[in-house]
Structure 1
Amino acid sequence: MPDSAYDLLTDEVAPFRVGTRTMSAAMLAWFLTTVWRLEPEDLAEAICDGGGDKGIDALVVDDDLAEITIFQGKWRETAVKTQGDNDLRSLVGAADYFASAAAVDGLLAAKPNAELRNLLVRQEVHRKIEDGSHLVRLVFVTNAHLDAAGADFVAARKTAEPELDVWDRDRLAYVADRARRAELRPETVRLTAVTTPTTVSLTAEEQLSVAVVPAQQLVDALPGISDYTLFSRNVRLFAGRTRINKDLRETVRKADEHELFPAYHNGLTILTERLAVEGSVLTLDRVGVVNGCQSLVTLFENSKVLTDKLLVLVKVVEVHDDSSVADKITFRSNNQNPVTMRDQRSSDVVMRDLQKSVRAQYGSTFALRTRVGENIAADRILDNTEAAQLIMAAYLREPWAAVRKVRLFDQDYRRIFNRSITPSKLYLVDLIDSVSSTERARLRDDLRSSFASIRFTLVHLITQVLRETELGTDFIETPENWLPDLEGEVRAALTSIAEEVVDSVNFYVGEQEQERGSEFDPKVVFKSQSGVTGLEYDVLRQSRRQAKRDATILFNIPSQTTARDSD
């Protein structure tokens, strides 16, 4: 009998099965990306699934939240297989490795696989456990249903330490399905405001009520907070590990700030298909929160410290399934994201000038996007965040800094988008990035699965090889003399260079592993200056050696100007 939830998860996880990843590891990759909100470049570093993993399939150390989270994933190949308690017990047992600094040393002495060993050392887990600064959490992820033994074990550990958080098939499927089907929860909810709500008619069929409601009541009455189904109309789920959410959590935990909470908090927006107001009681048939997910989840996770004085401003909007009002409210609410430095820069003179210059030069063939949600009609679109990363790698020659997104539009903004950056250079870095991405399949399996962390290093290395010839150097500095008219020839030349670079990278990593063993972590190479420097030296050495035998492997395409002069 078909199982729609099982099939849905299979479809969602499939794109994450790259390189040597098993389906269990791919499911964890999907989970860490979709639910845990890890950056793509951090994803591969967190997963340590494989032989010698000591029951630890992934490990995430969050210094902002002071948490060490141990993950285990179990993928069932058929929909009928269930999840028992043996794997759950194994995960709980793995927590013993983090009970003390000595236990962490014991884990290292037990010779775990290189992924786990490097992760423990890199994240300084020994020190953080010794200091007592970090709490240990357990998260079990499975595409199966829990059987009776599994459910009983989870229930028995409900109040035990460390906390065990189980994500089974139904809970995962809710997350996977949220983008495809924006439905309201079917329950009827009653909320009692502290004063009589204000109610106004929006249209002939829709109305709005504004009320102030105790936070504890919202947490108790609203369904679907823990599995995020209450937020099915949101574009994103709980963002989790952000500075704003950390500050909110600290505020909720301070009882002396509860009285002022409704004064400086923006409140919640709840949609319902039928709203009835009688006195101070609001009755909602079918519910969904479209603004306030971060706040409500934070309140839910800290429900033990809520007091009667912590009140929340709530807007309840009555809508209908076929109403355009519901779509507008959902869209507008989900676009009220916190202002970032990138947002603030989106309309400054540098971005305005670059965007207009690109449009003037390339029309609808190539465009620069400077704002979130900006609708642009063009064959190729380069987002300005990616543009900043590519410029950092290719022109500033600092690929290890390209992944530090926070700095790109803050400390490094003027360095990156300096006056030498032209529309042609944006066109070029986008082209190099496109070529290097097509060569991903040639990388070693482990590097292919962590491509997000190697991506900008490849762009840097290709650009450095281009600089090995005078024509290549001219090409980098004045790409308008080649592009877009000679793009076919240029792409072929770049592809040839990229192939040689990838082969050299594969060889370098293999050689380092033989020489240094488990002390060498290839993922770190692409995030540190010293690592990239050593890799670059080897790649250029190999490139020069190859060029002595065949000079055509380097960039030697005459520009249009050179060709005209020779004629």
Structure 2
Amino acid sequence: MEAKDLRHSEFSNVLEKHYSGRASDFSKRFLKWFLENIFRLDEFAADDACVDAKHDKGVDAIYVDDVSEVVYVIQAKTKTSDKAELGDTELKDFYGTLVQFGSAEKIEELEKETKNERLRQAITRNEVSEKVAAGYDVQGVFITNVPANDDAYNYIEKAEVIDLHDATEIAADYVDLDVDGGISERFDFDVSDSDVIEYDAGGASARIFLASALNLTKMKGISDGALFEQNVRLSLGNTKVNKSIKASIREKKEHGNFPLYHNGINVLCREILEESDQTISVEDYVVVNGAQSLTSLLSERAKITDDLKILVKLIEVKGDVSLSQKITRNSNNQNAIKARDMKSNHNLQQRLKAEVSKVSDGNFAYEIKQGESNKGKEIISNEAAGLVLLAADLEQPWSCHQKYKVMDDLHSEIFGRPGVTGARILALWECFQEIPTVLDELENKPFANYALTKYFIFFAVIQIIKDSSEGAHILKSLDEFSKNDQLDELAAGFAILARNAAIDLNAELAPEEDDYFDYKSDLKSPKWCRAMSAKLLAQHKKDVRRDKADSVADAFDELLE
């Protein structure tokens, strides 16, 4: 990605494609894109963070990191002109916004005074005043889709409480996960100022040395992620680790100590071509541990001195794929990695992958690891499928914002059941795809666009279907419908019931302008979800009796014949 790609004329189409139902304008879409792709929040946490609305006091999002004990106050300012730049005026205004978070007392005052219910609820829900009183830092994050000018950069040097992410910074931080990985060319490592340790393990030859950080930033594929093909985590964006690395880079007097603080990077290559006292030349290389370090170095390359060196473990694998995978797995196991990666070879997941492909005649791919090559197929990620099962089978829509549990704590409970087959997953998935169109029926648009809402409605409709004998039969026969190519009829019937449920839900919810309810908390409450689902079921029965709605039998008439 380049800075020009973020211009309004270029990027608006990208945001429209990916966020058409989750935000109403370019600025709000850009904010959510940033939170998910650069700040590395999942869609649930990103939605929770956003408070952008009238009377927002200059705050567009609030995110509390309890690990690093930081309250992030985020503001987005986008510009429509392709020639626009960011100066210091808006940064100064944002500094004034941050003053409101200067103490617990000021935050409590802001909470009382603001007319923006989303901001008030975010402050309350995240216990911002209490955490600032307990010692949490407050950090401003200013984002924009245009480059910053010298005035802006000069101001940022003084205003340490503001992290600036302009178009140049964002483009450098962004990692395109769809880009093919691996660098198939030569690279020369500078070892002129380092001793080299040689190690021969029999199956592979290794070199360990200190490399110039400036030399490493010349490796291709850092900004687009191609260099990190086998690194299970890629760059994690604006994490505590990345901020710490960047802080060390900016502190020039610490450059000599950098190898003492840093674990180094692991590089695999097909072949070591030649060696001398000055360089080690390699052919076809990939970084399997060190994405965060190299992306941080690239973004701060202007501040790197000759004293800054990185420990490099270079391993020649000679095309041995098995050895390469083993090195990747073990080197990354020393750091936190996603449970999904660890479960990718689990028997349950491998079986479901094969079953989905078979029952769909190869039209669907059950993706068990990010980066698989499934071109031309409709993708169902195992993590997304797990959330659908969590809402429908385990009846826990309120837990669907904790998607990390799908491949971890709840993996066996969700997937390890005899009834969980590839055919069942495909059937439920097709029904779930009807939910986005149903959300248009909801009058409360912020509620409709919230990530958890779709799982609640899915759960509520499943409860309606399950309540009738016909519906119970349908749910027990999902495998049969998938195998008999009746998914279109199944999805159509589900859509009828879901649309009726959405209309009934409008009647149950107070209009936004009269009584703004805290849906971000309610949708995470088992009590609220169960109670509201019961109300929708009761209303469905009344509507059927009064001939105001289709029954479950009517909706699935073709399948029950």
TM-superposed deviation, 1:355: 4.3
Q: Secondary structure at the match of 2:57?
A: coil
User: Structure 1: which 5+ residue stretches go unaligned?
Assistant: 201-207, 318-323
1:29-68 equivalent positions in 2, closer than 5 A: 29-68=32-71
Aligned match of 2:252: none
Give the 3 Å change call, closer, same or farther, for CA 241–482 of structure 1 in structure 2: same
Aligned match of 1:73: 76
Aligned match of 2:96: 93
Counterpart code for 1:393: A
Q: Secondary structure at the match of 1:497?
A: helix
- Are 1:397 and 1:460, in contact at CA under 8 Å, matched by a contact in 2? yes
Aligned match of 1:172: 170
Counterpart code for 1:498: A
Per-residue CA deviation, residues 478-533 of structure 1 (Å, 9 max, x unaligned), is 22454445434333221111111222334434358734x4xx21222222212312
Whether 1:441 and 2:460 are equivalent positions in the alignment is no
Counterpart code for 2:496: S
TM-superposed deviation, 1:88: 0.4
- Are 1:35 and 1:237, in contact at CA under 8 Å, matched by a contact in 2? no
Per-residue CA deviation, residues 339-365 of structure 1 (Å, 9 max, x unaligned), is 544344444443444445555555435
Per-residue CA deviation, residues 15-71 of structure 1 (Å, 9 max, x unaligned), is 335455332221111111111111012211111112111111111111112111111
Normalising by structure 1, we get a TM-score of 0.76
Per-residue CA deviation, residues 206-264 of structure 1 (Å, 9 max, x unaligned), is xx9834217xx53x665499x97385644675215779989999xx9xxxx999888xx
TM-superposed deviation, 1:300: 9.5
Counterpart code for 1:465: I
- Are 1:48 and 1:59, in contact at CA under 8 Å, matched by a contact in 2? yes
Q: Secondary structure at the match of 1:313?
A: strand
Q: Secondary structure at the match of 1:139?
A: strand
TM-superposed deviation, 1:295: 3.9
Q: Using the alignment, how far apart are the partners of 1:21 and 1:91 within structure 2?
A: 23
Normalising by structure 2, we get a TM-score of 0.77
Give the 3 Å change call, closer, same or farther, for CA 399–230 of structure 1 in structure 2: closer
Q: How many residues align?
A: 525
Whether 1:431 and 2:409 are equivalent positions in the alignment is no
TM-superposed deviation, 1:423: 3.8
Aligned match of 2:146: 144
- Are 2:196 and 2:207, in contact at CA under 8 Å, matched by a contact in 1? no
Give the 3 Å change call, closer, same or farther, for CA 11–360 of structure 1 in structure 2: closer
- The partner residue of 1:532 within 524, 529, 534 is 529
Per-residue CA deviation, residues 377-434 of structure 1 (Å, 9 max, x unaligned), is 8855533222222111111111112332232233323322212323442232112211
- The partner residue of 1:210 within 203, 207, 210 is 207
User: Structure 2: which 5+ residue stretches go unaligned?
Assistant: 250-256
Counterpart code for 2:235: F
TM-superposed deviation, 1:122: 0.8
- Are 1:233 and 1:288, in contact at CA under 8 Å, matched by a contact in 2? yes
> Percent same amino acid among aligned pairs?
21
Q: Using the alignment, how far apart are the partners of 2:400 and 2:37 within structure 1?
A: 23
Aligned match of 1:458: 457
Aligned match of 1:128: 131
Q: Using the alignment, how far apart are the partners of 1:408 and 1:373 within structure 2?
A: 19
Counterpart code for 1:389: L
Q: Using the alignment, how far apart are the partners of 1:385 and 1:195 within structure 2?
A: 46
Q: Using the alignment, how far apart are the partners of 1:361 and 1:503 within structure 2?
A: 34
- Are 1:74 and 1:142, in contact at CA under 8 Å, matched by a contact in 2? yes
Q: Using the alignment, how far apart are the partners of 1:399 and 1:234 within structure 2?
A: 35
Give the 3 Å change call, closer, same or farther, for CA 50–228 of structure 1 in structure 2: farther
Per-residue CA deviation, residues 76-121 of structure 1 (Å, 9 max, x unaligned), is 1111222222210122122222221111111112224111111111
- Are 2:343 and 2:407, in contact at CA under 8 Å, matched by a contact in 1? yes
Counterpart code for 2:503: D
Give the 3 Å change call, closer, same or farther, for CA 364–39 of structure 1 in structure 2: same
- Are 1:364 and 1:378, in contact at CA under 8 Å, matched by a contact in 2? no
TM-superposed deviation, 1:277: 5.7
- The partner residue of 1:401 within 399, 402, 406 is 399
Aligned match of 2:487: 487
Q: Using the alignment, how far apart are the partners of 1:309 and 1:19 within structure 2?
A: 43
- Are 2:174 and 2:224, in contact at CA under 8 Å, matched by a contact in 1? no
Q: Using the alignment, how far apart are the partners of 1:509 and 1:213 within structure 2?
A: 62
Q: Secondary structure at the match of 1:420?
A: coil
Q: Using the alignment, how far apart are the partners of 2:27 and 2:152 within structure 1?
A: 18
- Are 1:8 and 1:176, in contact at CA under 8 Å, matched by a contact in 2? no
TM-superposed deviation, 1:463: 0.5
Q: Using the alignment, how far apart are the partners of 1:180 and 1:480 within structure 2?
A: 36
Aligned match of 1:321: none
Counterpart code for 1:63: D
Per-residue CA deviation, residues 303-335 of structure 1 (Å, 9 max, x unaligned), is 99xxx9996224399xxxxxx99xxx99x9799
Aligned match of 1:312: 311
- Are 1:270 and 1:291, in contact at CA under 8 Å, matched by a contact in 2? no
- Are 1:61 and 1:68, in contact at CA under 8 Å, matched by a contact in 2? yes
Q: Using the alignment, how far apart are the partners of 2:504 and 2:383 within structure 1?
A: 28
Q: Using the alignment, how far apart are the partners of 1:5 and 1:410 within structure 2?
A: 36
Q: Using the alignment, how far apart are the partners of 2:330 and 2:438 within structure 1?
A: 35
Per-residue CA deviation, residues 175-216 of structure 1 (Å, 9 max, x unaligned), is 4585669899xx99855453136599xxxxxxx9834217xx
- Are 1:9 and 1:176, in contact at CA under 8 Å, matched by a contact in 2? no
Give the 3 Å change call, closer, same or farther, for CA 467–539 of structure 1 in structure 2: same
- Are 1:234 and 1:334, in contact at CA under 8 Å, matched by a contact in 2? no
Give the 3 Å change call, closer, same or farther, for CA 195–78 of structure 1 in structure 2: same
Whether 1:229 and 2:227 are equivalent positions in the alignment is no
Aligned match of 1:204: none
Q: Using the alignment, how far apart are the partners of 1:174 and 1:260 within structure 2?
A: 26
- Are 1:191 and 1:221, in contact at CA under 8 Å, matched by a contact in 2? no
Q: Secondary structure at the match of 1:382?
A: strand
Q: Using the alignment, how far apart are the partners of 1:122 and 1:420 within structure 2?
A: 38
- Are 1:481 and 1:561, in contact at CA under 8 Å, matched by a contact in 2? no
Aligned match of 1:194: 194
- Are 2:543 and 2:549, in contact at CA under 8 Å, matched by a contact in 1? no
Aligned match of 1:203: none
CA RMSD of aligned residues (A): 4.9
Aligned match of 1:320: none
Aligned match of 2:157: 155
Q: Using the alignment, how far apart are the partners of 2:421 and 2:489 within structure 1?
A: 22
1:490-501 equivalent positions in 2, closer than 5 A: 490-501=490-501
Give the 3 Å change call, closer, same or farther, for CA 238–259 of structure 1 in structure 2: closer
Q: Secondary structure at the match of 1:537?
A: helix
The answer to which of 16-25 and 135-144 deviates more is: 16-25
Give the 3 Å change call, closer, same or farther, for CA 532–561 of structure 1 in structure 2: closer
Q: Secondary structure at the match of 2:434?
A: helix
Aligned match of 2:254: none
- Are 1:223 and 1:230, in contact at CA under 8 Å, matched by a contact in 2? no
